[in-house]
């Protein structure tokens, strides 16, 4: 994928790349709600992205915050990316890592990991939380790899400007830039901060792609896309991204990996593997999280 601004090339009218619009479903997590974009009824995945949640923006009074008890995953890698706030990650590998805006927590579940997400150092004061939680499915031959966790500082991610848009490359390759964040299949994930009157063309490759508008409103090939909407794209010609106001857009995509089954936090191409994970969780066969031993049962088994 590459891009160039409309100042560098003539911007002519073209057929829209938008194939599908997805409006998120509100999910109540107790302390706050999220907007669940993927999986959707008409679009289960985009490339390897099998799950995409928009968290917040939420504001917490002192002594309150995100409080996700230890829970298991298999078959995926999770990517936590914050716009605002702080989350303290703990997992069964013994990792304790706070994440701040612009950084990446990449947790590879593989054959099984357990983690919790608790309030950070801002717990005792008024705090805010805003960001994206996404999962990428692992290729079939890598679903049972050992679990892993890597933290990438915000300064590690490439950033550049073109056509009034500031690009931050979270995963993959774009416009000659390469993110250091590990991928398991061809994956693209970028954060686009769009200024007022920005106009830029993006050249699509033969992959699956989608744009999610986290803030503001943009136009894709002249079609308005408001905040809180994901548009699934098609075609390999250049698309035109523009805006009359400031906006924040997430670009995701990559090679499709085939069908995946999902139950709770378990993802696999095998229903039998998911049943085994359910049995293992009930039986206590997953490793525990040091210093965070609170248990959460399977859905419907509370």
Write out the DSSP string of 160-217: EEETTEEEEEEESEETTEE--S--SSSEEEEEEEEPTT-EEEEE--SSEEEEEEEES-
DSSP 8-state class, residue 287: P
Task: Please give the Cα distance from 257 to 252 (Å, whole number).
Answer: 14
Write out residues in the chain with pLDDT < 70, as ranges: 1-15, 30-31, 236
Whether residue 275 lies inside any domain: the answer is no
Q: Is 281 contained in some domain?
A: no
**CA distance between the termini of the chain:** 46
Residue 247 domain-assigned?
yes
Number of domains in the chain: 1
pLDDT of residue 302: 75
DSSP-derived 3-state class of residue 280: helix
pLDDT of residue 63: 85
Q: Which two tokens stand for residue 169?
A: 């490359």
Measuring CA to CA, how many Å separate 122 from each of 63, 64, 88, 104? 9, 9, 10, 19
Residue 99 phi, psi (nearest 5) = -120, 140
- What pLDDT, on the 0 to 100 scale, is given for residue 5? 39
CATH number, residue 122: 2.60.120.10
pLDDT given for residue 122 in this prediction: 83
Q: State which residues form the domain around 111.
A: 2-254
Contact 86, 122 (CB under 8 A): yes
The answer as to whether 277 is a domain residue is no
Sheet holding 223-225, edge to edge: 2-5, 199-203, 238-242, 218-220, 223-225
Asked, for residue 263, whether it belongs to a domain, the answer is no
Exposure b/e, 141-170, CB count within 10 A at least 16 = b = eebebebbbebbeeeebbeeebbbbebbbb
301 occurs within a structural domain: no
Give the integer Cα–Cα distance in Å for 276 and 18. Answer: 39
| Residue 261 included in any domain | no
Determine the pLDDT at residue 218: 97
Preceding amide of 39 cis, omega within 30 = yes
Please report the pLDDT score of residue 165 as a whole number: 97
Q: pLDDT tens for residues 118-128?
A: 988 887 888 89
Give domain status of residue 246, yes or no: yes
Which residues lie closer than 8 Å to 102 by C-beta, 6 or more apart? 81, 82, 154, 157, 168
CB 183 within 8 A of CB 192: no
């Amino acid at each position: 994928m590459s891009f160039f601004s409309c100042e560098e090339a003539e911007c002519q009218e073209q057929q829209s790349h938008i194939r599908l619009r997805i409006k998120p479903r509100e999910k109540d997590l107790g302390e706050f709600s999220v907007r669940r974009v993927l999986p959707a009824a008409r679009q289960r995945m985009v490339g390897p992205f099998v799950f995409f949640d928009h968290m917040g923006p939420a504001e917490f009074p002192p002594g309150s915050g995100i409080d996700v008890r230890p829970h298991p995953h298999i078959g995926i890698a999770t990517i936590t990316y914050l716009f605002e706030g702080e989350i303290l990650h703990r997992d069964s590998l013994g990792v304790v890592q706070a994440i701040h805006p612009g950084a990446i927590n990449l947790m590879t579940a593989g054959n099984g990991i357990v983690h919790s997400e608790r309030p950070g150092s801002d717990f005792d004061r008024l705090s805010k939380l805003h960001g994206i939680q996404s999962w990428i499915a692992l290729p079939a031959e890598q679903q049972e790899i050992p679990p892993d966790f890597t933290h990438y500082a915000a300064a590690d991610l490439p950033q550049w400007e073109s056509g009034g848009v500031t690009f931050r490359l979270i995963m993959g390759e774009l416009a000659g830039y390469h993110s250091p964040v590990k991928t398991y299949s061809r994956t693209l994930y970028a954060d686009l901060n769009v200024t007022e009157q920005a106009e830029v063309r993006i050249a699509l490759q033969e992959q699956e792609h989608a744009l999610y508008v986290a803030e503001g409103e943009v136009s894709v090939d002249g079609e308005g896309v408001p905040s809180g909407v994901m548009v699934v794209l098609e075609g390999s010609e250049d698309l035109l991204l523009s805006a009359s106001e400031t906006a924040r857009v997430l670009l995701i995509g990559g090679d499709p990996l085939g069908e995946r089954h999902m139950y709770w936090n378990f993802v696999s191409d095998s229903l039998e593997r998911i049943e085994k994970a359910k049995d293992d969780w009930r039986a206590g066969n997953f490793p525990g999280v040091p210093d965070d031993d609170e248990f959460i049962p399977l859905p419907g088994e509370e």
